[in-house]
């Protein structure tokens, strides 16, 4: 089942389940006559408000996140957790409403009835969808093209398990070996080409004890492709608790999650990117018009400087800046600009001081090519060079680049490869600790840098 179809089914199921819970709740509260109330209760408008509340809440709770082959128990547990938190919030809203309107307190206890109804209706709908998904997979419908990396005993054991349980959702096309002539599809050096040619979406890693040093190479190859990556842990890792595994039909997997932030945080981060970018563009529009006029009057060439940069997952995009250098400043090839670079124009020095040259990148943020906060996007020429010289540089490309970042507030402006190497430490720290709290801290520090004119 595709991500799109799965989400449509979940939204439809929740639509009927949430409204069914509201109808039953309304009948119990109003029509049954069991519970006294002081004023006639409306039905339609509250039902719409309640549905929108739960829709938004479920989105931020991650209940519409794509889960390929999730157990019904895990699904039901997530529903109980989310509904419990949501009803807890509703309880306090009702409590405040009762306090403000000085109404009888009996209404707040009805939330327990509503909580139970929501768990039964929404939980049943979700379990039904997961059951349908399992049945379809068992019949061979919706299986994902998969391959196993490894050719030893553990790889063969995994192949047997996967073929035994089609409900896992994997359709094996073969295996990739770590040495010559050891894999049916080829070797690790050709993994990226194999993934593309066989349209692989799931990569299962089953390495022997003496092959684990190749794990980072496998992850690096897969990082450049749009695939899900799972590792089969050994017995010691499972028993000792060194690895957190997910099990389905007795097959344990460590899922390598390229996304550090939870779904709800990523969604909120994107909403904040859009809202703040639109606000800044609107608020700064008079200043931006003045900058455009000054650039045009003081130097020859275009107002905007458009440059190719490497984004998330190595995707190339055009990044926009106000031109702060003379025309054809890089006619002899890409190079870094120093703090006292002679190519920088008079107005360029001024707008760089206040970071105004970076403001057009808010358009890149709106186009979802960048975020307000993240590692700065680098040019393809330097990415290729740095990828050869710096181990695991690919990790920097696993997140969306940003206008400002942890490295920008902790280190001076890039003027050499050594500066980039130093900044990588800060970029890796950000990637490993991504959170809305850290983003807020970076934005506040960036604002202070601009206010005190410490820009490049």
Judge whether 222 lies within some domain.
Answer: yes
CATH code of the domain in which 206 resides: 3.40.50.720
Residue 30: burial class (beta carbons within 10 Å; 0-12, 13-18, 19+): middle
Q: Where does the pLDDT of residue 269 fall: very low under 50, low under 70, confident under 90, or very high at 90 and above?
A: very high
Average pLDDT of the residues in 56-71: 78
Judgement on whether residues 110 and 168 belong to the same structural domain of the protein: no
Contact 1, 54 (CB under 8 A): no
**How many Å separate Cα 400 from the centre of its chain?**
9
Q: Where does the pLDDT of residue 274 fall: very low under 50, low under 70, confident under 90, or very high at 90 and above?
A: very high
Judgement on whether residues 186 and 279 belong to the same structural domain of the protein: no
Instruction: Out of 102, 117, 138, pick the residue that ends a domain.
Output: 138
Judge whether 171 lies within some domain.
Answer: yes
3-state secondary structure of 310: strand
Tell me what pLDDT residue 310 has: 94
Concatenated DSSP letters for 63-94? TTS--SS--HHHHHHHHHHHHHHHHHHHHHHH
Instruction: Out of 113, 138, 163, pick the residue that ends a domain.
Output: 138
How is residue 275 written in tokens?
């809202």
Judgement on whether residues 289 and 423 belong to the same structural domain of the protein: yes
Whether the pLDDT of residue 119 is over 60: the answer is yes
Tell me what pLDDT residue 242 has: 45
How is residue 438 written in tokens?
């850290």
Phi/psi at 205 (nearest 5 deg)?
Answer: -105, 125
**Higher confidence at residue 99 or residue 403?**
403
Judge whether 113 lies within some domain.
Answer: yes
CA distance 453 to 456: 9
Tell me what pLDDT residue 240 has: 43
CA distance 318 to 281: 19
Residue 20 is part of which domain span?
3-138
Judgement on whether residues 302 and 208 belong to the same structural domain of the protein: no
Phi/psi at 46 (nearest 5 deg)?
Answer: -60, -35
Judgement on whether residues 274 and 415 belong to the same structural domain of the protein: yes
Judgement on whether residues 170 and 239 belong to the same structural domain of the protein: yes
**Higher confidence at residue 329 or residue 145?**
145
- Split into its structural domains, the chain has a count of 3
CA distance 383 to 390: 10
Judgement on whether residues 23 and 92 belong to the same structural domain of the protein: yes
How is residue 336 written in tokens?
């870094």
Tell me what pLDDT residue 236 has: 44
Whether the pLDDT of residue 276 is over 90: the answer is yes
Judgement on whether residues 275 and 222 belong to the same structural domain of the protein: no
Instruction: Out of 256, 274, 307, pick the residue that ends a domain.
Output: 256
pLDDT tens-digit readout, 294-344: 998 888 888 999 999 999 888 999 999 998 887 766 655 555 565 566 678
Length reported for the chain: 456
Judge whether 328 lies within some domain.
Answer: yes
Judgement on whether residues 430 and 320 belong to the same structural domain of the protein: yes
Judge whether 456 lies within some domain.
Answer: no
Judgement on whether residues 150 and 52 belong to the same structural domain of the protein: no
pLDDT tens-digit readout, 204-236: 888 887 777 777 778 777 766 678 888 877 644
Judgement on whether residues 279 and 157 belong to the same structural domain of the protein: no
Those residues with Cβ within 8 angstroms of residue 129's Cβ, 6 or more apart along the chain or in another chain: 9, 10, 13
Judgement on whether residues 157 and 70 belong to the same structural domain of the protein: no
pLDDT tens-digit readout, 344-394: 888 888 888 888 889 999 999 999 999 999 999 988 988 888 877 776 677
Q: Quick one: what percent of the chain has pLDDT higher than 90?
A: 26
């Amino acid at each position: 089942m595709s991500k799109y179809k799965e989400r449509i089914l979940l939204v439809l199921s929740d639509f009927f389940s949430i409204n069914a819970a509201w109808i039953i709740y309304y009948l119990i509260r109003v029509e049954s006559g069991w519970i006294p109330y002081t004023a006639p209760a409306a039905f339609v408008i509250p039902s719409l408000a309640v549905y929108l509340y739960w829709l938004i809440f479920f989105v931020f709770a991650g209940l519409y996140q794509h889960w390929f082959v999730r157990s019904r128990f895990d699904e039901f547990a997530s529903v109980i957790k989310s509904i419990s938190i949501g009803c807890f919030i509703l309880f306090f809203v009702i409590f405040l409403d009762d306090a403000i309107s000085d109404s009888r307190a009996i209404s707040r206890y009805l939330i327990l009835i509503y909580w139970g109804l929501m768990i039964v209706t929404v939980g049943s709908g979700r379990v039904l969808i997961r059951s349908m998904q399992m049945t379809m997979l068992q019949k061979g419908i919706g299986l994902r093209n998969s391959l196993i990396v490894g050719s030893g005993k553990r790889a063969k054991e995994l192949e047997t398990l996967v073929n035994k349980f089609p409900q896992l959702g994997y359709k094996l096309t073969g295996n990739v070996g770590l040495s010559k002539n050891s894999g049916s599809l080829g070797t690790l050096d050709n993994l990226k080409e194999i993934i593309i040619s066989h349209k692989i979406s799931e990569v299962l890693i089953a390495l022997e004890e003496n092959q684990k040093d190749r794990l980072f190479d496998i992850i690096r190859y897969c990082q450049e492709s749009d695939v899900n990556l799972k590792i089969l842990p050994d017995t010691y890792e499972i028993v000792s608790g060194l690895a957190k595994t997910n099990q389905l039909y007795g097959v344990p997997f460590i899922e390598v999650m390229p996304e550090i932030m939870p779904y709800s945080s990523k969604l909120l981060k994107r909403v904040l990117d859009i809202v703040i970018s639109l606000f800044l563009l609107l608020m700064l529009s008079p200043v931006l018009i003045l900058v455009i006029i000054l650039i045009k009057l003081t130097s020859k060439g275009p107002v905007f400087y458009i440059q190719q940069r490497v984004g998330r997952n190595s995707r190339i995009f055009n990044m926009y800046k106000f031109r702060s250098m003379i025309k054809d400043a890089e006619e002899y090839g890409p190079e870094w600009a120093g703090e006292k670079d002679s190519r920088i124009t008079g107005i360029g020095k001024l707008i760089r001081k206040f970071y105004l040259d970076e403001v057009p990148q808010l358009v890149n943020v709106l186009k979802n090519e960048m975020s307000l906060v993240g590692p700065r996007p680098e040019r393809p020429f330097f990415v290729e060079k740095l990828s050869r010289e710096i181990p695991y540089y690919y990790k920097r490309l696993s997140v969306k680049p940003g206008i400002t970042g942890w490295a920008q507030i902790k280190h001076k402006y890039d003027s050499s490869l050594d500066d980039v190497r130093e900044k990588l430490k800060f970029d890796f720290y950000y990637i490993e600790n991504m959170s809305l709290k850290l983003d807020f801290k970076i934005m506040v520090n960036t604002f202070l840098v601009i206010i005190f004119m410490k820009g490049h």
